[in-house]
Amino acid sequence: MTIPAHRIAFGEHLRELRRARGWTSQEAFAHHVGLDRTYISGIERSRRNPTLDIIVKLARGLEVSPSELLSTIEP
């Protein structure tokens, strides 16, 4: 299965933002946003394709706009 470039970019950017904001643990961040650690891991490894609701939840947990999470995706 080929993973789309936009999903890879999103996962990498999520990981960078999470770590930059002091969430070194996926588990702690997942608890903070109300998701399972394995789901966060799946997004960061580009295995999961999050819905808009999840993107908003992640953005709120990171205190950024949803557009900031999507900013690395090429048009």
Specify if 74 maps to a domain. Answer: no
* pLDDT at site 49: 95
Instruction: Note whether residue 63 is domain-resident.
Output: yes
pLDDT of residue 6: 94
Please indicate, yes or no, if residue 75 is contained in any of the structural domains: no
CATH of the domain at 28: 1.10.260.40
Q: What is the pLDDT of residues 8-44, one digit of tens each?
A: 999 999 999 999 999 999 999 999 999 999 999 999 9
In-domain check, residue 36: yes
Q: How many domains does one find in the chain?
A: 1
User: DSSP of 2-58, one letter per residue?
Assistant: PPPHHHHHHHHHHHHHHHHTT---HHHHHHHHT--HHHHHHHHTT-----HHHHHHH
Q: Can you give the pLDDT at residue 3?
A: 93
Residue 54 falls within a domain, yes or no? yes
Question: Which range of residues forms the domain containing residue 61?
Answer: 5-69
Q: Does residue 24 fall inside a structural domain?
A: yes
pLDDT the model gives residue 7? 95
Note whether residue 43 is domain-resident. Answer: yes
Instruction: Give a yes or no: residue 19 inside a domain.
Output: yes
**Residue 68 region by backbone torsions, left for phi larger than 0, else alpha for psi between -120 and 50, else beta:** alpha
Confidence category of residue 58, pLDDT binned at 50, 70, 90: very high
